[in-house]
Amino acid sequence: MFAEIGRALALIVNRDVEVWQITGVSIAVSTAAVIAAVALGLPLTYALARSGPRSTRIGIWAAHSAAALPTVVVGLTLYFALSAAGPLGWTKLLYTRTAMSIGQLVLALPLLVAVVLGALHRLPASASEALITHGVTPPRRMGWLLWEVKSAIASATFLAFSRAFTELGSALIVGGNIRGATRTLTTYVALEYNRGDDARAIALGLILLVVALIANGLMHAFMTEQP
Amino acid sequence: MGTETLIRARDLSVGYPGSVPAVVPDLDLSSGVVWHVTGPNGSGKTALLKTLAGLLRPVAGRLEQGLGRGSRGAVYVHSTPYLFTGSVRRNLSLARPSPQQIESVACTFSLTTLLDRDAVRLSHGEQRRVALARAIACRPQLLLVDEPEGGLDEEALAAWRTCMVRAIDEGDTALVVATHGPVAFEGIPVREIRMLAKQI
């Protein structure tokens, strides 16, 4: 066991091409998913927050429920949608990194919405009223209020990244674990270790762990900054 | 001194959703005057100010007003104003006044040395000065202030009164204040809007 860990560390330190290529794919796929989640999630969250306290509470409940979606269910649903006979088969996205990012987007978005919506909900009504009464236009209002919850946004972004980066079910089903294309840290560790290359699997597992811990550490750092 | 009617209210009732509405006496709100809203706690003073500012819908009655919000419109200042994170200068720039206007209003309220300080870390009195300065930087036609003098020291009170007397004298602004204390602005007539205790 210790010998395998030693070999795994050597692979990382010696910059094994496949190890770092797989790491690069994982980071790229999850980063794209999180960027899309932020771009879609912030306007959506702001619209929910503005739609009244009842809608906000329903939105928070719905986002929390969606955050608990099993990754394999997301992967399977996306697989049926993107497969040749599915309604989105014409896009030919199945077994691509884009499909993997879409799956991770579905998993990351509810987390981001839940955290940011909660933060916006906690702002006093006087914040929004101050903007309205000073004649601030609706697009600028969104900017001012989102800036007020910037720590929550940063925290939610790293939480979403952590969820996307460490998920397996969706990436495996819609990505297919294709070497050099859609193979990520999780799909490799899950499926390839039984080929006997334990050292490589351990190396990838260690990288996965370190990146996830960094993302979680950043999430907590921003969470403690929140008022 | 101008006496233009800015807002006309008839048979007006104000209040928050789900609460007992407050009946407002008929009024023709004109500039050149300080309007002093009085009444016991819970009589609807704040609800009236927010309704006149367009932040609350009237519960009943007619409210005719052609004012917008912000610059040259109606601006409402909370009794516990919300200041945004960042510097005092950032807060004063809320309604996008010119840099000269920011400097001028900061000077009036003795905020020049605080312009680059974090607004949320200021004392309560300093925060109230920033909120009043932020509202006045809009040069509103109608300024509605809830408990304007709470937390202000003598210097800030003098600045606030001088600033308002100047704006009202120029026929520029109508001021509506809701407060339990007496209202005195040198040379400016004060008219009272008395809110009655709600009949439950």
Complex prediction ipTM: 0.90
Per-residue pLDDT of A149-174, as tens digits, reads 999 999 999 999 999 999 999 999 99
Question: Helix, strand, coil % (nearest 5) of chain A?
Answer: 80, 0, 20
| Whether B78 and A126 lie within 8 Å, measured CB to CB | yes
The beta-carbon neighbor of A136 closest among B53, B80, B94 is B94
Å from B69 to nearest chain A CA? 5
- Do the Cβ atoms of B55 and A133 come within 8 Å? yes
Long-range contacts of B41-46 (CB under 8 A, 24+ apart): B42/B197, B42/B198, B43/B195, B43/B196, B43/B197, B43/B198, B44/B14, B44/B15, B44/B195, B44/B198, B45/B146, B45/B178, B45/B195, B46/B79, B46/B146, B46/B178
Number of A–B residue contacts, CB under 8 Å: 55
Determine whether the interchain pair B134/A134 forms a contact, defined as Cβ–Cβ distance below 8 Å.
Answer: yes
Residues in chain A within 8 Å Cβ distance of B134: 134
The whole-number pLDDT of residue A30 equals 97
Per-residue exposure over A27-49, b if at least 16 CB sit within 10 Å of its own CB, e if not: bebbebbbebbbeebbebbbebb
Residue A50 C-alpha, separation from nearest chain B C-alpha, in angstroms: 14
Of A124, A127, A129, the CB nearest to B55: A129
Tens of pLDDT, residue by residue over B12-48, are 999 998 888 999 999 998 888 889 999 988 899 999 9
CA–CA gap between residue B126 and residue B128 (Å, rounded):
5
- 3-state class (DSSP) for residue B22: strand
Distance from CA of B187 to the nearest CA of A (A): 28
In this prediction, residue A226 has a pLDDT band, given cuts at 50, 70 and 90, of: low
DSSP three-state, residue A143: helix
Whether the per-residue pLDDT at A227 is higher than 60: the answer is no
- Residue ranges for chain B with pLDDT beneath 70: 1-3, 70-71, 171-172, 198-200
Residues making up chain B, counted from first to last:
200
SS (H, E, C) A46-96: HHHHHCCHHHHHHHHHHHHHHHCCCHHHHHHHHHHHHCCCCCCHHHCCCCC
Nearest-neighbour CA in chain B from A147: distance (Å): 8
Can you tell me the mean pLDDT for A78-82? 97
Q: What is the pLDDT of residues A96-109, one digit of tens each?
A: 999 999 999 999 99
CA angle B161, B167, B170 (to 5 degrees): 135
The CATH class that applies to domain A2-225 reads mainly alpha
Task: Specify the pLDDT at position A225.
Answer: 66
Q: For residue A164, what is the enclosing H or E element?
A: helix A150-166
Structure tokens at B172: 């520029």
Pure H helices in chain B: 45-52, 88-92, 99-108, 124-136, 154-169
Q: Are A59 and A115 a contacting pair, CB within 8 Å? A: no
Q: Which residues of B touch A148 (CB under 8 A)?
A: 84-85
Level-2 CATH architecture, domain B5-194? 3-Layer(aba) Sandwich (3.40)
For range A78-104, the mean pLDDT? 97
Name the interface residues of A facing B (CB cutoff 8 Å).
124, 126-127, 129-136, 144, 147-148
The chain A residue lying nearest B133, using CA atoms, is A134
Cross-chain Cβ contact B53/A133 below 8 Å:
yes
Q: Which of A135, A147, A148 lies closest to B95 in CB terms?
A: A135
The full length of chain A comes to 227
- The two structure tokens encoding residue A80: 């049926």
Q: Which two tokens stand for residue A220?
A: 């907590």
Number of H helices, E strands in chain B: 5, 9
A12-16 long-range contacts (CB < 8 A, ≥24 apart) are A12/A203, A12/A206, A12/A207, A16/A200, A16/A203
Q: What is the mean pLDDT of residues A182-208?
A: 84
- Name the residue ranges covered by the structural domains of chain B: 5-194
pTM over 0.90: no
**Interval A67-93 mean pLDDT:** 96
CA distance B144 to chain A (A): 10
Chain A neighbors of B86, CB-CB under 8 A:
147
